[in-house]
Structure 1
């Protein structure tokens, strides 16, 4: 996956993390830490790229955040 291809989704991912963390702070809800951004991408677009795993893990984190806030 090229660096250019990651810029927009990564920007959106960071925005979503900030949004849900802000909502949790306002609701006095503690969320687990979001997944760390990968640091080992080779940039060759590998099948099973570390970024694919990151975005998958982030999807689960966002679901957990939504459930935690819905319970309040």
Structure 2
């Protein structure tokens, strides 16, 4: 029984250490990832709007771009 209590305490200590590592040291990496994601979303939205405008006003150009860059 004493061994079980010791193992549970050790696992809790290891879990706290891992959480500290993930959110402490690697927190900067998560911050960089979310910053890049925050910059990529507006670029994606603007690119999508430009493509939709091309579909409406220049469908041949949009088709050529889809054939050139698309995988289909």
Interval of TM-score (by shorter of Structure 1 and Structure 2):
0.3 to 0.5
TM-score by length of 2: 0.38
Structure with larger Rg: 2
**Structure with larger RCO (C-alpha < 8 A, sep 6+):** 1
Judging by fraction of residues, say which structure has more helix.
2
